[in-house]
Structure 1
Amino acid sequence: MFENLSDKIMASLKKVRGQSKITESNIEDVIKEIRLSFLEADVNFKVVKNFIDRVKAKALGAEVLQNVNPGQQFVKIVHDELVQTLGGGAVDINVRENPSVIFMVGLQGAGKTTSSAKLALYIRQKLGKKPGLIPADIYRPAAIDQLQTLGKQNNIPTFPTPIGMKPEEILEKSKQWARDNMVDVVIVDTAGRLQVDDELMGELGRLKDIWAPQEILLVADAMLGQQSVNVAEGFHKRLNLTGLVLTKVDGDARGGAALSIREVTGIPIKFLGVGEKVNALEVFHPDRLAGRILDMGDVLSLVERAAEVIDEKAARDSAKKIMKNEFTLDDFLGQIQQLKKMGGFETILKFLPGMGEISKQLKNMTPPDNEIKKIEAIIRSMTIQERNNHKILNASRRTRIANGSGTQVSDVNKLIKQFEDAKKMMSGMMKMGMGRGGMKFPF
Structure 2
Amino acid sequence: MAFEGLTERLQKAMEKLRRKPKVTEADLRETMREIRLALLEADVNFKVVKDFVKKVREEAAGAEVLKGLNPAQQIVKIVNDQLTELMGEEAVPLNRAAHIPTVIMMVGLQGAGKTTTAGKLALRLKNEDHARPMFIAADVYRPAAITQLQQVADQIDVPVFEKGTDVDPVEIVREGMEVAKQNHNDYVIIDTAGRLQIDEQLMDELVNIKQLVNPDEILLVIDAMTGQNAVNTAQGFDDKLDITGVVLTKLDGDTRGGAAMSIRAVTGKPIKFVGEGEKMEDLDVFHPDRMASRILGMGDMMTLIEKAQKNFDEEQAQETMDKMRENTFDYNDFLAQMDQVTKMGPLENIIKMMPGMANNPALKNINLDPKQFAHIRAIVLSMTPEERENPDLMNPSRRRRLAAGSGRPIVEVNRMIKQFNQMRKMMKQVTNGNMSGMQNLFGGQMPGGRMGQMAMNRMARKMKKDKQKRIKKLRKMRKKR
**TM-score normalised according to structure 1 size:** 0.92
- Equivalent runs, 1:178-327 vs 2, <5 Å: 178-327=180-329
In structure 2, what is the equivalent of residue 60 of structure 1? 61
User: Could you tell me how far 1:415 is from its partner in structure 2?
Assistant: 3.0
Give the aligned CA root-mean-square deviation in angstroms. Answer: 2.4
In structure 2, what is the equivalent of residue 7 of structure 1? 8
% same residue: 48
User: Could you tell me how far 1:322 is from its partner in structure 2?
Assistant: 2.4
Stretches of structure 1 that go unaligned for 5 or more consecutive residues are: none
Alpha-carbon distance change, 303 to 313 in structure 1, aligned in 2, over 3 angstroms: same
- Between stretches 300-309 and 53-62, larger displacement belongs to 53-62
Counterpart Cα distance in 1 of 2:204 and 2:432: 66
**1:252 counterpart SS class:** coil
Alpha-carbon distance change, 57 to 210 in structure 1, aligned in 2, over 3 angstroms: same
In structure 2, what is the equivalent of residue 364 of structure 1? 365
Deviations 1:246-285 (A, max 9, x none): 1111001111111111111111111111111111111111
Alpha-carbon distance change, 367 to 236 in structure 1, aligned in 2, over 3 angstroms: closer
In structure 2, what is the equivalent of residue 374 of structure 1? 375
- Are 1:20 and 1:70, in contact at CA under 8 Å, matched by a contact in 2? no
Counterpart Cα distance in 2 of 1:91 and 1:309: 24
- Are 1:346 and 1:363, in contact at CA under 8 Å, matched by a contact in 2? no
Counterpart Cα distance in 2 of 1:62 and 1:151: 59
- Equivalent runs, 1:74-153 vs 2, <5 Å: 74-97=75-98, 98-153=100-155
User: Could you tell me how far 1:49 is from its partner in structure 2?
Assistant: 0.6
In structure 1, what is the equivalent of residue 466 of structure 2? 438
Counterpart Cα distance in 1 of 2:148 and 2:14: 46
**TM-score normalised according to structure 2 size:** 0.85
Amino acid in structure 1 at the alignment position of 2:28: I
In structure 2, what is the equivalent of residue 420 of structure 1? 421
Counterpart Cα distance in 2 of 1:114 and 1:380: 36
- Are 1:243 and 1:269, in contact at CA under 8 Å, matched by a contact in 2? yes
Alignment of 1:388 onto 2:389: yes
- Between stretches 44-53 and 397-406, larger displacement belongs to 397-406
Alpha-carbon distance change, 177 to 389 in structure 1, aligned in 2, over 3 angstroms: same
**1:183 counterpart SS class:** coil
- Between stretches 360-369 and 47-56, larger displacement belongs to 360-369
Amino acid in structure 1 at the alignment position of 2:129: L
Alpha-carbon distance change, 372 to 216 in structure 1, aligned in 2, over 3 angstroms: same
Alpha-carbon distance change, 70 to 400 in structure 1, aligned in 2, over 3 angstroms: closer
Alpha-carbon distance change, 221 to 73 in structure 1, aligned in 2, over 3 angstroms: same
Counterpart Cα distance in 2 of 1:112 and 1:145: 14
Alpha-carbon distance change, 439 to 161 in structure 1, aligned in 2, over 3 angstroms: farther
- Are 2:318 and 2:467, in contact at CA under 8 Å, matched by a contact in 1? no
- Between stretches 108-117 and 296-305, larger displacement belongs to 296-305
Deviations 1:120-151 (A, max 9, x none): 11222223432211111111242211111111
Amino acid in structure 1 at the alignment position of 2:123: L
Amino acid in structure 2 at the alignment position of 1:267: K
Alpha-carbon distance change, 204 to 82 in structure 1, aligned in 2, over 3 angstroms: same
**2:104 counterpart SS class:** strand
Alignment of 1:73 onto 2:74: yes
- Are 1:22 and 1:59, in contact at CA under 8 Å, matched by a contact in 2? no
Deviations 1:172-215 (A, max 9, x none): 11122112322111110000011100000111111112211011
- Are 1:303 and 1:439, in contact at CA under 8 Å, matched by a contact in 2? no
In structure 1, what is the equivalent of residue 339 of structure 2? 337
- Between stretches 232-241 and 135-144, larger displacement belongs to 135-144
Alpha-carbon distance change, 189 to 75 in structure 1, aligned in 2, over 3 angstroms: same
Counterpart Cα distance in 2 of 1:367 and 1:383: 27
Alpha-carbon distance change, 328 to 356 in structure 1, aligned in 2, over 3 angstroms: same
**2:247 counterpart SS class:** strand
Amino acid in structure 2 at the alignment position of 1:60: A
Amino acid in structure 2 at the alignment position of 1:134: I
- The alignment covers a number of residue pairs equal to 439
Amino acid in structure 2 at the alignment position of 1:4: G
- Are 1:242 and 1:267, in contact at CA under 8 Å, matched by a contact in 2? yes
**2:161 counterpart SS class:** coil
**1:15 counterpart SS class:** helix
Alpha-carbon distance change, 166 to 78 in structure 1, aligned in 2, over 3 angstroms: same
Counterpart Cα distance in 1 of 2:121 and 2:362: 36
Alpha-carbon distance change, 343 to 211 in structure 1, aligned in 2, over 3 angstroms: closer
- Between stretches 430-439 and 177-186, larger displacement belongs to 430-439
User: Could you tell me how far 1:393 is from its partner in structure 2?
Assistant: 5.4
Alpha-carbon distance change, 24 to 247 in structure 1, aligned in 2, over 3 angstroms: same
Counterpart Cα distance in 1 of 2:42 and 2:339: 35
Alpha-carbon distance change, 67 to 168 in structure 1, aligned in 2, over 3 angstroms: same
Counterpart Cα distance in 1 of 2:397 and 2:163: 62
Stretches of structure 2 that go unaligned for 5 or more consecutive residues are: 435-459, 469-481
Amino acid in structure 2 at the alignment position of 1:81: Q
User: Could you tell me how far 1:363 is from its partner in structure 2?
Assistant: 2.8
- Between stretches 384-393 and 302-311, larger displacement belongs to 384-393
